Amino acid sequence: MDSLPLHHCTVHRSWAIVHRSHTFLHSIALTAMVYYRASSFLYHENTLATPTLPFLVVFASELVLSLLWLLNQAYLWRPVSRTVFPERLPADEQLPAIDVFICTADPKKEPPVEVMNTVLSAMALDYPPDKLSIYLSDDGGSSLTLYATREAWGFARLWIPFCGRFGIKTRCPKAYFSTLDDDHGDSIEFPKEREKIERKYEELKERLRRAGEKVGIKDTGALAGQSFPPVIEVMRHDTINEFDSEQAKMPLLVYVSREKKPPHPHHFKAGALNVLLRVSGVISNAPYILMLDCDMYSNDPTSARQAMCFHLDPKISPSLAFVQFPQKFHNISKNDIYDSQARSIFMVKWPGMDGLKGPMLSGTCFYMKRKALYGSDIQKDSDLLLLKQSFGPSNEFTKSLSRGFRYVIDSKDSLNTLLPEAQVVASGTYEKDTQWGQQIGFLYDSVVEDYFTGFILHCNGWNSVYCNPSRPAFLGTAPTSLNESLVQGRRWNCGVLEVAFSRFCPLIYGPSRMSFLQNMCYGHFAFQPFYFFSVWCFATIPQLCLLNGIPLYPKVSSSWFIILSFIFLSSLLKHLWDILYTGGSIQTWRNEWRVWMIKSVTAYFYGSLDAILKLVGMRKATFIPTNKVSNEEQIKLYQMGIYNFQTSTMLLAPLVTLVILNVVSFTGGIARAIFTGEWKEMFAQIFLSFFIIVMNYPVIEGMILRKDKGRVPPSVTLLSVVFSFIFLSLGSIVLMYT
């Protein structure tokens, strides 16, 4: 007999219809526009007025934008959403085990108290504790983090029973104690218990604070590129008989700080995760793995069961690699002026891809099938020797490939024999001459290990599923300043281009290995840093030409102008539709536009530059973690929706230069049109400058009106004035001679 389904999938038909109609109409208009450009170039209709060089540059940037637009259409071909029915899951005894991986790297930017909150929330997942093992990777090798882990273990012995007993939903202590709206049944003991636990939590915080002061944060040698031995510690009960008591039903908690052996590369987060794969393989070897960044606490203890609704469905399970939950954040303001939540990814693109072969891997908040990460050619009966060539020399780990989950908590002895082996697989040179990072585990060679690994999984025939329940399953800390946001964006853009420039370029490696539409999505993601080219061109060339009286766009009276306007309006309106459909507002729409422009000229630009420099060997890979602590001033500005321009001159100056350039060309263009009467010829260019100014109004405000710390520093403004002047003079000279 067929049992009831564990999940249900709804296709958003109206969304798909609107999307496909838009794609159809817009592509006709784009084709017409390309025809117009090509023919006016070939038949020299415009040559009297337009010199070749600016014409070609603008045409090229239009082509780049159009190609990216085309790739972008694949996402929403068939958007879906899913519901799960965890109550239909088999009994607890039949659920598979789960290993949880949590990564931290820098105790300064990622304070141990916060990391421990994530650890505790993961330990308190609503899942059989004997099937749950938590592994914390500390790339900073910080003694403070190790101390904090021990302390957290102690606190967990109170926290987990408390959550279970009163049915607490928010199982991250910090989040729980800062809200009051969690239900807890009506037990009379509750208030007293809560008070007791809260006091214990405060004590824990205090101990960690004091420890932090004592150690100082000097102990980050592993981060600063010094050698560091592997440290693995399994948290355990002090006395044997505790194993029997009810209270001792706790998940396993293991602290792992892998060996660092410079100059041997450690491959950042991907390297850390691969060490965890091996260490956990030797110790518990659960068939499923939940990955969490250190700031991503579990906000809904039932997420594991939700994920199992997909992993345990025999119809989809054989090819299902991972269940991705959205990254959501607890500190997003109403305006979200930096689009820190990456709204379009998690609200629009992933539901869209979910209707194809599934969303891309997103670094954190996903339940992965362990086997999927072990590459395509492990077979149970494979030769041990051959396996060792790929997976490295450890017998114990190689044996784990064909073994299932191992319950270790009840035997101290087995742990004692396993630990030395765990040290071996966490050593800095273990991966030498193996397939780790190439075919196995999380892939190296890109700082967006998530995108790259997910891409190869989809290429190898695996699928994924997007699970976006109304109560956020996980909540993280989003960047709340322009600087953090740009540092992060720069890394991402560099990372995806690293993939685009490699032999795994989605548009070359993908087509024969995955469905056409799925591949278009991956292609779009990899090449989207190139938006920088179009945005840079559109913000400089038409403006330069405007000041020199050179028309680049059709006259207002021409019918081509209607097509041009259609393209412009159609893309604005479609973007607006997608936002409104997913619960956003006009303000969200304006913010996304603004941030897109800002990031295009900064993060996309420098990210592309980094990737190109890396390609020619002039730059090494880096992974600068984002800062998860922010000062009050910064948070206040962010909450009020005021941009904080405190960032490096290198990032800020290009943006300010472009804005100044547009102000100059707008005023100059209007003056010129009044003088010459060439309104119709120049309208499009005047309007473009106007649009850019309006969209970037906060920059102007930051330059002129604001006096606070977050303003655009006058030195940057001055420098940008000089840049604009140089660009306009040199540009005009070039125009004169072409």
Among 100, 103, 482, 652, indicate the residue that binds ligand UPG (CB under 6 A).
103
Per-residue binding string, Mn ion, 267-306, x by CB under 5 A, is --------------------------x-------------
By CB under 5 A, how many residues form the interface with Mn ion?
1
Among 62, 259, 293, 484, indicate the residue that binds ligand UPG (CB under 6 A).
293
Question: Which one, 293 or 498, has the nearer CB to Mn ion?
Answer: 293
In terms of Cβ atoms closer than 10 Å to its own Cβ (0-12, 13-18, 19+), residue 558 is middle
- Phi first, then psi, for residue 83 (nearest 5°) are -120, 150
Instruction: Assess whether 354 carries a catalytic annotation.
Output: no
| Minimum CB–partner distance for residue 448 and Mn ion (Å) | 12
Among 84, 105, 424, 598, indicate the residue that binds ligand UPG (CB under 6 A).
105
| Minimum CB–partner distance for residue 478 and Mn ion (Å) | 8
Residue 235: partners with Cβ closer than 8 Å, 6 or more residues away: 149, 150, 153, 252, 253, 254, 255
- Phi first, then psi, for residue 299 (nearest 5°) are -105, -10
Tokens linked to 710: 């977050």
Q: Which of 295, 354, 450, 578 is catalytic?
A: 450
| Minimum CB–partner distance for residue 138 and ligand UPG (Å) | 8
Q: Does 626 help bind ligand UPG (rule: CB under 6 A)?
A: yes
Among 623, 687, 723, 725, indicate the residue that binds ligand UPG (CB under 6 A).
623
Q: Is 269 annotated as a binding residue?
A: yes
Contact, 491 vs 447, CB < 8 A? yes
CA angle 521, 527, 528 (to 5 degrees): 85
| Minimum CB–partner distance for residue 53 and Mn ion (Å) | 43
| Minimum CB–partner distance for residue 219 and ligand UPG (Å) | 16
Helix, strand or coil for residue 511? coil
Question: Which one, 259 or 293, has the nearer CB to Mn ion?
Answer: 293
**Contact partner, 448, from ligand UPG, Mn ion, none, Cβ < 5-8 Å per class:** ligand UPG
Contact, 406 vs 413, CB < 8 A? no
Question: Which one, 344 or 364, has the nearer CB to ligand UPG?
Answer: 364
**CA–CA gap between residue 326 and residue 359 (Å, rounded):** 10
**CA–CA gap between residue 120 and residue 152 (Å, rounded):** 7
Distance set, CA 119 to CA 38, 155, 157, 296 (Å): 59, 11, 13, 9
Q: Which of 106, 126, 139, 336 is catalytic?
A: 139
Residue 329: partners with Cβ closer than 8 Å, 6 or more residues away: 340, 341, 475, 476, 477, 478
Which range, of 382-390, 424-432, 445-453, 544-552, touches ligand UPG by CB under 6 A?
445-453
Q: What is the DSSP letter of 291?
A: E
Angle between helices 679-695 and 649-676 (to 10 degrees): 150
**Contact partner, 341, from Mn ion, ligand UPG, none, Cβ < 5-8 Å per class:** none
Among 272, 304, 356, 440, indicate the residue that binds ligand UPG (CB under 6 A).
272
Q: Which residue is nearest to Mn ion (CB)?
A: 293
Contact, 541 vs 23, CB < 8 A? no
| Minimum CB–partner distance for residue 180 and ligand UPG (Å) | 29
| Minimum CB–partner distance for residue 540 and ligand UPG (Å) | 30
3-class SS letters over 230-254: CEEEEECCCCHHHHHCHHHCCCEEE
Tokens linked to 363: 């670094």
Residue 205: partners with Cβ closer than 8 Å, 6 or more residues away: 113
Structure-token match 């990622």, residue found: 110
User: Residues 459 to 498: which contact ligand UPG by CB under 6 A?
Assistant: 488, 491-492, 495
In terms of Cβ atoms closer than 10 Å to its own Cβ (0-12, 13-18, 19+), residue 721 is middle
Question: Which one, 458 or 491, has the nearer CB to ligand UPG?
Answer: 491
Tokens linked to 197: 């636990």
Distance set, CA 263 to CA 260, 353, 446, 523 (Å): 9, 40, 18, 34
Whether the ω angle into residue 263 lies within 30 degrees of 0, i.e. cis, is yes
Neighbours of 93 (CB within 10 A): 7
Tokens linked to 299: 């906000």
CA angle 360, 365, 367 (to 5 degrees): 80
Which range, of 30-38, 411-419, 444-452, 463-471, touches ligand UPG by CB under 6 A?
444-452
| Minimum CB–partner distance for residue 260 and Mn ion (Å) | 21
Nearest to 531 by CA among 600, 590, 479, 473: 600
Q: Which residues pair with 366 in a beta bridge?
A: 291, 324
Among 7, 26, 260, 269, indicate the residue that binds ligand UPG (CB under 6 A).
269
Which range, of 310-318, 443-451, 515-523, 639-647, touches ligand UPG by CB under 6 A?
443-451
| Minimum CB–partner distance for residue 607 and Mn ion (Å) | 17
Per-residue binding string, Mn ion, 367-396, x by CB under 5 A, is ------------------------------
Q: Is 293 annotated as a binding residue?
A: yes
Tokens linked to 465: 């599923």
Q: Is 109 annotated as a binding residue?
A: yes
Q: Which residue is nearest to ligand UPG (CB)?
A: 363
Instruction: Assess whether 181 carries a catalytic annotation.
Output: no
Structure-token match 């950042």, residue found: 268
**Contact partner, 168, from ligand UPG, Mn ion, none, Cβ < 5-8 Å per class:** none
Q: Is 313 annotated as a binding residue?
A: no
**Contact partner, 105, from ligand UPG, Mn ion, none, Cβ < 5-8 Å per class:** ligand UPG
**CA–CA gap between residue 108 and residue 140 (Å, rounded):** 10
User: Residues 574 to 593: which contact Mn ion by CB under 5 A?
Assistant: none
Among 259, 300, 396, 450, indicate the residue that binds ligand UPG (CB under 6 A).
450
Residues lying near Mn ion in the complex (CB under 5 A) are found at 293
Residues in the site for ligand UPG, rule: CB under 6 A? 103-105, 110, 137, 139, 268-269, 272, 293-294, 363-364, 447-450, 488, 491-492, 495, 623, 625-626
Binding residues are 109-110, 139, 269, 293
Residues acting as catalytic residues: 139, 450
The annotation places the binding site for Mn(2+) at: 269, 293
Annotated binding site for UDP-alpha-D-glucose: 109-110, 139
